[in-house]
Amino acid sequence: AWLDAVHLDAERGMMARLDPRRLDVILANLIGNALKHGGSPVGVRVRTEGEELVIEVRDHGPGIPEDVLPHVFDRFYKASASRPRSEGSGLGLSIAMENAHIHGGDISAANSPDG
């Protein structure tokens, strides 16, 4: 169902040593979160910077409040305590971060002026 909601920008032939199951967990959490909070389409750009693989996930939502940004990868963190539990456990981005760290990588979140 994501095929119509996600736009992929990646060169063919890129190679990386990684665990595909962990990459799937990372992408599923990042893209799922972007779709939930920013709507579609979600852009995913894959590129290399030297020896590093860089994956950018971008949505066109309203952005994350500046006071929330430092906490989005904290376990169980939700931007609003009034959000019902059914909207998520607050673990998805934390799980994505843990999987990135296992690969020696990192994840960051930022707001873009154009969404």
- pLDDT tens per residue across span 19-36: 999 999 999 999 999 998
Which class is 2-102 in CATH? alpha beta
- Rounded-to-integer distance, Cα 106 and Cα 89, Å: 21
pLDDT band for position 1 (50/70/90)? low
Are 56 and 45 in contact, with CB atoms under 8 Å apart? yes
pTM of the model: 0.84
Q: How many CB atoms lie within 10 A of CB 110?
A: 8
54 and 48 in contact (C-beta within 8 Å)? yes
What confidence tens digit (pLDDT) does each residue in 44-53 have?
999 999 989 9
